Amino acid sequence: MENLSRRKALSLGVALGLVGVAGPAQAWASTGSAKGAAAATGAEGVWDAVADPLMVSMLENGHVPAINAGWESWVNNGDQLPSGVPAEFSTYLGQVNKLPSWADPVKLTRAADFNRRRDLYLFMLYGLGSGIMSTVIPREAKSVYWAAGGSNMQDRAAKTFTFGYDLSQLKAFEPEGQFIVTANKTRVVHAAVRHLLPQSPHWTAVSDEKIPISIADILVTFHSLGTYVHRKLLEWKISFPAADQEAFLHSWQVAIHLLGVPDEYIPQTWAEADAQSAQVLTPILTPTTEGIALAEELLGLTAQVDLGVTRGFLNEFVRYVLSDEVGDWLGLKRDYVAAAAVRVAWPAYIAFREGLSPVMPGTFYAVDQMVRALGMLFLNKGDSGTTTPITIPTGNRTD
């Protein structure tokens, strides 16, 4: 890991984990919310009442190029709002570019420190867990594939990882951090895609919805990331004190609020999150033509690097962190030698790192090679250490 920067590790993890928008849903509000259980299926018919009409206007009036140019230098949370953009757009940013009143700076700081301490585990779970899971979330896979970025997944991932990396920064939510800005840019991109994808004959031919990226879809993405990772860390018996768990959840609560999710739909506890995930995520996992193609493209990019990691090892690690069923759906070829190695190497690696075993396993080198190989897939674009620009699309995939 010494030759792989933390930006590279976290970047790729969430590049894969956030390859797009989320899947179908019957999302329900947390029981402690204003709407309560009565909102059980309401989120599927809710989008972004603030950002959506704004971006329809910006796209139809040709303002997007000016916005992309104007906000390129708008990076840190404490930066002045971008200049050279329409007044209506600037007013919108002034209204949303801030933390919710309920955000707890102590918890956010603790979450950032937790991310720093557990970055390797988070990277592997976000990358080969959440990221590949996203390809068997039908609506997500179809939306990602037919949106403009779907034609170049390496470039798409290099841009998308910014969200996850900026969320993990020690000062992510402070003036010198970047996450609030990044989240607001992402929210605007989502609004643009909601307007653009329904104009794609390719997407409409395969989609079971008329408008993508509902609030329910964003919640499904949260569960495929935060809730899934929380559960796996506990399953792997990683040291995860209650205060760290609470802080980790809080950072995700703030994150999805900044993406436009109304507070009444945000789970208030991990118990609520687990129950919501079991209702809206687990039942809808299934393969699609688009998802199979995306998974193959993401994992197949390893052919571009030669750092001693076999495709079979990657396939088996995906099966290990998701399931053989998912691996079969995606047509991931079996490598039983690699499968045995993964099932021995990874627990031994964790045991040594967690101080549960005094013996460094001989598999450390193989694990490090896998991390380096994954990092090299996309992160040549992140070598400068600067945030990868997030741009608003003006069209869809055409090929």
- Residue 156 vs residues 135, 147, 294, 340, 393: alpha-carbon distances, Å: 14, 10, 12, 33, 12
The sign of the dihedral angle between the CA atoms of 222, 224, 225, 227 is positive
Residue 309 lies in a domain: no
Q: Per 3-state DSSP, what percentage of the chain is helix, strand, and coil (rounded to 5)?
A: 65, 0, 35
Q: What DSSP element (H or E) covers 265?
A: none
Q: What is the pLDDT of residues 314-343, one digit of tens each?
A: 899 999 999 999 999 999 999 999 999 889
pLDDT at 362: 75
Q: For the chain, what is the domain count? A: 1
pLDDT tier at 302, thresholds 50, 70, 90: low
- Given phi > 0 = left and psi -120 to 50 = alpha, else beta, which region is 308? left
φ, ψ for residue 67, nearest 5 deg: -65, -45
pLDDT at 23: 37
CA angle 73, 74, 79 (to 5 degrees): 120
Q: How far apart are CA 338 and CA 51, in angstroms?
A: 47
If you average pLDDT over residues 52-70, what whole number do you get? Answer: 98
Q: What is the pLDDT of residues 279-288, one digit of tens each?
A: 899 999 999 9
Q: How far apart are CA 104 and CA 243, in angstroms?
A: 13
Provide the whole-model pTM. Answer: 0.87
Instruction: Please check the confidence at residue 171 and state whether its pLDDT lies above 70.
Output: yes
Residue 295 lies in a domain: no
Instruction: Supply the range of the domain harboring residue 89.
Output: 19-117+170-232+239-283
Bridge partners of 396, per DSSP, are 147
Q: What is the pLDDT of residues 184-194, one digit of tens each?
A: 999 999 999 99
pLDDT tier at 309, thresholds 50, 70, 90: low
Two structure tokens written together for 278: 């079991």
Q: Is residue 396 classed as helix, strand or coil in its secondary structure? A: strand
Instruction: Please check the confidence at residue 25 and state whether its pLDDT lies above 50.
Output: no
DSSP symbol at 303: G
CA angle 367, 14, 241 (to 5 degrees): 75
Residue 35 lies in a domain: yes
* Number of C-beta neighbours around residue 153 at 10 A: 23
Bridge partners of 147, per DSSP, are 396
Better pLDDT: 17 or 289: 289
Residue 3 lies in a domain: no
pLDDT at 359: 75
pLDDT at 215: 94
DSSP symbol at 39: G
Two structure tokens written together for 249: 């959840």
Two structure tokens written together for 162: 């910014």
pLDDT tier at 355, thresholds 50, 70, 90: confident
Instruction: Please check the confidence at residue 199 and state whether its pLDDT lies above 70.
Output: yes
pLDDT at 398: 86
Residue 123 lies in a domain: no
Find how far residue 338's CA is from the centre of its chain.
27
Residue 326 lies in a domain: no
Residue 111 lies in a domain: yes
CB 63 within 8 A of CB 85: yes
Q: How far apart are CA 112 and CA 252, in angstroms?
A: 11
If you average pLDDT over residues 104-118, what whole number do you get? Answer: 93
Whole-number mean pLDDT of the chain?
Answer: 83
Q: How far apart are CA 225 and CA 223, in angstroms?
A: 5
Residue 91 lies in a domain: yes
